[in-house]
Amino acid sequence: MEHLVSGWCNDRSLPESYILPPEKRPGKLTVPLANNIPVIDLGGHDQTDLIQQIFEASQEFGFFQVINHGVPSNLMDEAMSVFKEFHALSGEDKAIETSKDPNKSCYIYTSSPNYATEKFHFWRDGLMHHCNPLEKYIQFWPEKPPRYREVVGPYTAEVRKLGFRILEFISQGLGISPDHFSSGLSENQTLLVNHYPPCPDPSLTLGVGKHRDPGGINILLQSDVYGLQVFKDEEWVGVEPIPYAFVVNIGYLLQIISNGKLKGAEHRVVTNSNVARTTASLFINPSSETLVEPAKALIDASNPAFYKSLTYKDFLSKYIAASSDSKALEEVLSTAL
């Protein structure tokens, strides 16, 4: 894995292949922090109120943060420590620790999974692995740092529980069955541990370019270092790091299932020149063969489906082909054409 940014970033200025075309550069490096991205207290006992808050945030922003979410804070600290320790290993160790499964349920990449074909690169290394069912996949996870499996096993189990609780609230807010997501639509649970080393010129590059997550939801542990921005009302706003909160964002799948009621939010990651930033995304996504379509309960003669039915695999190939062009993607998915 000779390409990993963390392997060479200390010795070089920003290579040309990381310099984005002017219109894709971060522009102003200090954008305002969004003071209106909701912070929802899941410890509240009024379920109707929680459902309402989550639903409104998912409609308006496609983003919210949750606190009092039930995932123990020491488990969040320990997980963040082993994530950082993993990315601090030598390139050789990282290659060994991520090549235990011939079917590649665990792997490491740099920039994006399309490194070989992309026009320019992003300032990020990513460790990706499946996490459910745990018994099936944990044998392929890294064994260095030594506590990786012992800590990340319970961490992913807890965050997954939180994710399902949020999906249930979202379903209730939409007025569809609370277990709408309980089978194929949530079968693929993947952890992506992102690492963004300090960058020699944050104004010219990004950690992750503008995108919508393709799947259901992402429960993100963002650590205490700022970097995540959301595109809201044609402007970039920053997502404030809040200690022990999770950032939740709605993916494209929920936009389709809700027939456009909920928003798959566009976001990106900026880098900084001082400190490394490590984050962990737990994605709850469909399995490849699962049919992705607007929920039947939301469709009738006066509310026609805006999106075609597709298997998630076919949806993903259209998502990848559209790259980050969200208009082009809307067009190929729309029933109007």
Number of residues located near ligand OGA, criterion CB under 6 A: 13
Cα atoms found within 13 Å of the Cα of residue 157, Cβ hemisphere only: 12
Whichever of 195 and 308 has its CB closer to Ni ion, that residue is: 195
Report, in Å, the least distance between residue 211 CB and Ni ion. Answer: 6
Whichever of 187 and 213 has its CB closer to Ni ion, that residue is: 213
Q: By CB under 6 A, is residue 267 in contact with ligand OGA?
A: yes
Phi-psi category of residue 36: left, alpha or beta, with phi > 0 → left and psi -120 to 50 → alpha:
alpha
* Helix residue ranges per DSSP H, the chain: 5-8, 47-60, 73-88, 91-97, 134-137, 148-174, 252-257, 312-321, 326-333
| Among residues 51, 89, 95, 192, the one that binds ligand OGA under rule CB under 6 A | 192
Report, in Å, the least distance between residue 328 CB and Ni ion. Answer: 19
Whichever of 1 and 228 has its CB closer to ligand OGA, that residue is: 228
CA distances 264 to 9, 135, 181, 315, Å, are: 33, 31, 17, 14
Contact by Cβ (8 Å): 298, 261: yes
194: partner contacted, choices ligand OGA, Ni ion, none (Cβ within 5-8 A by kind): ligand OGA
26 cis-preceded (ω within 30 degrees of 0): no
Whichever of 82 and 208 has its CB closer to ligand OGA, that residue is: 208
| Among residues 158, 168, 213, 266, the one that binds Ni ion under rule CB under 5 A | 213
d(CA 11, CA 181): 47
Q: By CB under 6 A, is residue 278 in contact with ligand OGA?
A: no
| 3-state SS, residue 140 | helix
d(CA 322, CA 116): 18
CA 200, 206, 207: angle at the middle one, nearest 5? 95
Q: Which residues contact 78 (CB under 8 A, 6 or more apart)?
A: 147, 151, 155
Site string for ligand OGA, 197-226 (x = CB under 6 A): -----------x----x----x-x-x----
The closest residue (CB) to Ni ion is 213
Q: By CB under 6 A, is residue 194 in contact with ligand OGA?
A: yes
192: partner contacted, choices ligand OGA, Ni ion, none (Cβ within 5-8 A by kind): ligand OGA
245-260: b (≥16 Cβ within 10 Å) or e? bbbbbbbbbbbbbbbe
Site string for ligand OGA, 220-259 (x = CB under 6 A): x-x----xx-------------------------------
Q: Answer positive or negative: Cα dihedral of 226, 228, 232, 234.
A: positive
316: partner contacted, choices Ni ion, ligand OGA, none (Cβ within 5-8 A by kind): none
Report, in Å, the least distance between residue 267 CB and Ni ion. Answer: 6
Contact positions toward Ni ion, by CB under 5 A?
Answer: 213
Using CB under 6 A, list all residues that contact ligand OGA. Answer: 192, 194, 208, 213, 218, 220, 222, 227-228, 267, 269, 279, 281
